[in-house]
Structure 1
Amino acid sequence: MADFQGYLVLFLIWLVSTVLVRSIFGRLKTRPRLPPSPLALPILGHLHLLSPIPHQALHKLSTRYGPLIHIYLGSVPCVVSSSPETAKEFLKTHETSFLGRPFISAVDYLTYGSADFSFAPYGRYWKFMKKITMTELLGGRTLNQLLPVRSDEITRFLGLMLKKANAKEEVDVGGELIRLTNHVVSRMTMGKRCSSNEEEADEVRKLVHDVAEITGKFNLADFIWFCKNLDLQGFGKQLKEIRDKFDLMMDTTIKEHEEARKINKETDGDDDGAAKDLLDLLLDISEDENSEMKLTKENIKAFIMDIFAAGTDTSAITTEWALAELINNPEIMKKARQEIDTVVGNSRVVQESDIPNLPYLQAIVKETLRLHPTGPMIVRESTEDCTINGYDIPAKTRLLVNVWAIGKDPNHWENPLEFRPERFVGEDGKSQLDVRGQYFHLLPFGSGRRSCPGVSLALFMVQSTLAAMIQCFDWKLCGGDINGKVDMEEGPGLTLPRANPLLCVPVARISPFSSL
């Protein structure tokens, strides 16, 4: 009997040991092989390693741990790509695995539950909106029809700068450029300027600024799992105020458009040849019984919010960075002026139609986008498990492609911190390297199916505005650093703003618009 009990004990020990060993080895076998990672803290993960300017902090981590790293932002797993080679793996080779967008509670609320286009899940609705955006809303025909709007607003802007020049007044260049782009976007989307009343126009600009600011803030509910249903930072009230203001503006505008459309139909008006604003085009689609999908008012309002949020700050900030670089590099400014004077002359203001004949100006804009991309990071989310460079990337992993770091990669750019537009001009004098995502060492507008659909509009605005500013004015810097140059410090934000405003006194150099 005693022998039997002894054998039973030995059998149980053997059984438990076998189960434990198999369990341990099973876990080791199934545990994913993740990219290198710094030491993480409980709950916070790697949040303690991020500065107020995340793309700079992530760049520093990549120099230590490599171009592909794995981090946790609170409880959210992320992979960070900081080289053209790894970016290509994510955005081209394995693009279908990274077409998702992460859930951001502020964006979800402001866009009526992901009724927008930019952050909509990859699926039928997103594909439909992508198609109509590229063919109708932001397609070549619509942009050509709305050219007079852009030209008129740039002329108004130049007129204001001339008044400042005559009065020798200081100008906040970035602030005035935001006013310009805000008026352009407002007229293109809703058929009217923000407001003829400057106080009301400032309210609209503040609304756009508040949207960009609150969606760019770190929200504990998005990253710390036990804060998911808590509003510890008080964002809920702010979000409600912002959306209520936007609703009021859009409901009023939509009602005005619907009434005008009704009157036009009753009078048998035919406006097929007239330039329609984007809201009219969206209403056309929503009323089309044969449309592939039915657009709701929430879809329409969310799309307009996308255009305002993405199209106002970005173009203005890029133009401001470009002018700052030109002030610090007078020889480049001189060369750009010579090109414009040769091609355009000084009897008229440079136009969008002149841009194809100004390769050096195009190169200046590309070099600005390389050093100062207004979207410093591409954010996606994996929709399925995949393997990148031998590492396992699980589904629901957030992807951060550090565009800012990639544009300064010394393996692909000679003297990467130097502002040198000549790198984008070929031996034949023509502009080289497209910025639409074909070259993975230059990704200011992303790449692939989820790249920025407004790239053409952005380039039109930046190139034509900058060209006119170079042609018509000298820009006398107010202040500057200890060397009398523009400081190039970056500020926090999703769109890479300057830390300090660019303050200049414009000095008129030609007067083709003296009648303004």
Structure 2
Amino acid sequence: MAFILFLLLVFLFPIVITFLYQWNEHNTKKARYPPGPRGLPLIGNLHQFDSQKPHQFLHELSKKHGPVMSMKLGSVPLIVISSEKVAKEAFNAHDIVISNRPNLTGQKKLSYNGQDIAFSAYNDYWREMRKIAVIHLFSLKQVNSFSPIRRDEVFHMIEDVSKKADKFEPINLSETLISLSSSIICRSAFGKSYRETSSVKRSFDELVHEVQAILVGLFCADYFPLLGWMDKVTGMASRLEKCLENLDHFYQELIDEHISTNRPQSMEGDILDILIKLKEGNTSSFDISWEHIKAMLMNIFIGGTDTSSATTTWAMTALVKTPLAMRRVQQEIRNVVGKKPLVDEDDIQKLPYFKAVIKEAMRLYPSSPILPRETTECCVLGGYEIEPKTFIYFNLWAIGRDPEYWENPNEFLPDRFLNSPIDYKGQDFGLIPFGFGRRGCPGMNLGVAVVELALANLLYAFDWELPLGMTEEDVNTDSLPGLAVHKKDPLCLMAKRYI
């Protein structure tokens, strides 16, 4: 027993010394550091942190401590930004300084040591990969080339909903829209059918769920570096390794099919095909490896499926809870489209109120409500000094409800965007669902195209009602945990054909 106590003392001594040093250092800088909730020794505010709904939890704390709030996650300092004014200041004065991403264990591993775009450090490599994404993968020309895929998949979605509507069956729109987004991504990125191949659907869905869980999972190594070995004890390390192994196998199968001489015609011109041609052509400033390609596939695989379906579901949720807005947007769409079988992407450009509905849904329910960054140098935000290696959380959910920027911020009012220059492209800091500055999402055009076409056709083709006995108040807006936030309870509605 004495020997065990001796070992514990030897082990705990450096931790206690480190803690006392950091605690003292924090207290000396308290005067110029942002206010925040008081934490505990060693763990900081981790015991208070709500990982299920961090955006709402942080929003409530910011009402007490202010729009620039400090916290401590273990040994990691965290600053939370909850106002449009400070977010704008961060971009205008410190965009380069806050262009890093937190170097977290799960994200680093699944991105092949940061060889992607989303989780890579801000450096020359990241700039080159982003250039590839912007010019070759997500240019307007490339997004438009996938238009037939989007139209075809939306057509099949409308057919499936019509069959259930004719049988008076409730429609699980959450499930329907996830399936649609997965189908579009599978065909656009991988040249494979999600709908027609059960094995593809099953492996795709299982991987998406597991990756989401890993990316928001808690690894001791991230917040307590000296206790990184605990990840092996808890099983998180082996779970991460298994997830990467499954992902790598999935990517490798896709690559092998694409480089095969007998590959299907559907793979010609998809995103993976473009990446392989860039690798073979060696047109970048560095040699593109298979790991670079796999890391990029991870971003497309996760970002492309979850965010579009979540945004469309939240838009339908908001409209169901606001029947007047629902009727108004349906009337606008039907007046423009007439009696065509589907809404075309060209029609959408003639629908100002519909566009306003999407912006308002993104304001109230951003699919990725927390935008994480990390400082590379000392900077000043909101009058407070922020040190290097500090995590910065831009709470987009709170910024979208900032009462200093938005009138009636908690109400769903699409009219606020009519005849307004405010857009979601990263220049208006009250509405930044795709981020801003250098690290703004390069796949924005593709994501918006999917949301617009799916939502417009659902509103055009059907009249929507709540199941018998339900009212608008019964439709809750609770969310599930994840990088992309989905509605906790599936949105189940009754549909009646319009066409």
Q: Deviations over 1:242-282 (max 9, x none)?
A: 22222222211111111239999xxxxxx9xx961011110
Q: Structure 1 residues 338 and 82 mapped into 2: Cα distance closer, same or farther (>3 Å)? A: same
Q: Structure 1 residues 28 and 323 mapped into 2: Cα distance closer, same or farther (>3 Å)? A: closer
State the AA in 2 paired with 1:439: D
In structure 2, the residue matched to 1:54 is 54
Q: Please, what is the CA RMSD of the aligned residues?
A: 2.3
Q: Deviations over 1:83-123 (max 9, x none)?
A: 11111122331111111111111111112211211111111
In structure 2, the residue matched to 1:36 is 35
In structure 1, the residue matched to 2:484 is 495
CA distance in 1, matches of 2:78, 2:26: 22
Unmatched 5+ stretches in structure 1: 1-25, 265-270, 511-516
In structure 2, the residue matched to 1:202 is 202
Matched, 1:377 2:389: no
If you compute each CA radius of gyration, which structure gives the higher value, 1 or 2?
Answer: 1
CA distance in 2, matches of 1:123, 1:105: 19
Unmatched 5+ stretches in structure 2: 1-24
In structure 1, the residue matched to 2:426 is 437
CA distance in 2, matches of 1:493, 1:29: 36
In structure 1, the residue matched to 2:126 is 126
Identity %: 37
CA distance in 1, matches of 2:27, 2:201: 60
Matched, 1:296 2:289: yes
- The answer as to whether partners of 1:371 and 1:404 remain within 8 angstroms in 2 is yes
State the AA in 1 paired with 2:417: F
State the AA in 1 paired with 2:183: H
Q: Structure 1 residues 413 and 70 mapped into 2: Cα distance closer, same or farther (>3 Å)? A: same
CA distance in 1, matches of 2:116, 2:470: 42
CA drift at 1:132: 1.4
State the AA in 2 paired with 1:416: P
In structure 1, the residue matched to 2:242 is 241
Q: How many residues align?
A: 474
- The answer as to whether partners of 1:172 and 1:504 remain within 8 angstroms in 2 is yes
Report the 3-state secondary structure (helix = DSSP H, G, I; strand = E; otherwise coil) of the residue aligned with 1:468.
Answer: helix
In structure 1, the residue matched to 2:8 is none
Q: Structure 1 residues 289 and 317 mapped into 2: Cα distance closer, same or farther (>3 Å)? A: closer
Q: Deviations over 1:198-247 (max 9, x none)?
A: 25412211211211122012223211233223314311222222222222
State the AA in 1 paired with 2:168: K
Q: Structure 1 residues 446 and 135 mapped into 2: Cα distance closer, same or farther (>3 Å)? A: same
Q: Please give the residue correspondences for 1:146-157 in structure 2 after superposition, counting only pairs within 5 Å.
A: 146-157=146-157
In structure 1, the residue matched to 2:324 is 331
CA drift at 1:297: 0.5
CA distance in 1, matches of 2:437, 2:332: 33
Deviating above 6 A after TM superposition, structure 1's stretches of 4 or more consecutive aligned residues are: 26-32, 261-264
Q: TM-score, normalised by structure 2?
A: 0.90
In structure 1, the residue matched to 2:260 is 259
In structure 1, the residue matched to 2:404 is 411
Report the 3-state secondary structure (helix = DSSP H, G, I; strand = E; otherwise coil) of the residue aligned with 2:340.
Answer: coil
CA distance in 1, matches of 2:31, 2:408: 38
Matched, 1:509 2:498: yes
CA distance in 2, matches of 1:263, 1:35: 57
Q: Structure 1 residues 27 and 190 mapped into 2: Cα distance closer, same or farther (>3 Å)? A: closer
Q: Deviations over 1:418-448 (max 9, x none)?
A: 111000001xxxx641101101111111110
Q: Please give the residue correspondences for 1:101-500 in structure 2 after superposition, counting only pairs within 5 Å.
A: 101-194=101-194, 196-231=196-231, 232-260=233-261, 276-426=269-419, 432-478=421-467, 485-500=474-489
Q: Structure 1 residues 480 and 106 mapped into 2: Cα distance closer, same or farther (>3 Å)? A: farther
Q: Please give the residue correspondences for 1:90-101 in structure 2 after superposition, counting only pairs within 5 Å.
A: 90-101=90-101
Report the 3-state secondary structure (helix = DSSP H, G, I; strand = E; otherwise coil) of the residue aligned with 2:32.
Answer: coil
Moved more, 309-318 or 248-257: 248-257
Moved more, 62-71 or 241-250: 241-250
Report the 3-state secondary structure (helix = DSSP H, G, I; strand = E; otherwise coil) of the residue aligned with 1:436.
Answer: coil
- The answer as to whether partners of 1:370 and 1:442 remain within 8 angstroms in 2 is yes
In structure 2, the residue matched to 1:17 is none
- The answer as to whether partners of 1:377 and 1:402 remain within 8 angstroms in 2 is yes
CA drift at 1:350: 0.5
- The answer as to whether partners of 1:480 and 1:487 remain within 8 angstroms in 2 is no
- The answer as to whether partners of 2:321 and 2:472 remain within 8 angstroms in 1 is no
- The answer as to whether partners of 2:257 and 2:263 remain within 8 angstroms in 1 is no
CA distance in 2, matches of 1:138, 1:479: 43
Report the 3-state secondary structure (helix = DSSP H, G, I; strand = E; otherwise coil) of the residue aligned with 2:230.
Answer: coil
Moved more, 221-230 or 248-257: 221-230
CA distance in 1, matches of 2:365, 2:468: 22
CA distance in 2, matches of 1:94, 1:405: 21
State the AA in 2 paired with 1:120: S
- The answer as to whether partners of 2:282 and 2:288 remain within 8 angstroms in 1 is no
- The answer as to whether partners of 1:145 and 1:275 remain within 8 angstroms in 2 is no
CA drift at 1:58: 1.0
Q: Deviations over 1:307-348 (max 9, x none)?
A: 111110111011111111111211111111111111111233
CA drift at 1:475: 2.1
Report the 3-state secondary structure (helix = DSSP H, G, I; strand = E; otherwise coil) of the residue aligned with 1:449.
Answer: helix
Report the 3-state secondary structure (helix = DSSP H, G, I; strand = E; otherwise coil) of the residue aligned with 1:174.
Answer: helix
In structure 2, the residue matched to 1:21 is none
Report the 3-state secondary structure (helix = DSSP H, G, I; strand = E; otherwise coil) of the residue aligned with 1:101.
Answer: coil
CA distance in 2, matches of 1:299, 1:81: 32
Q: TM-score, normalised by structure 1?
A: 0.87
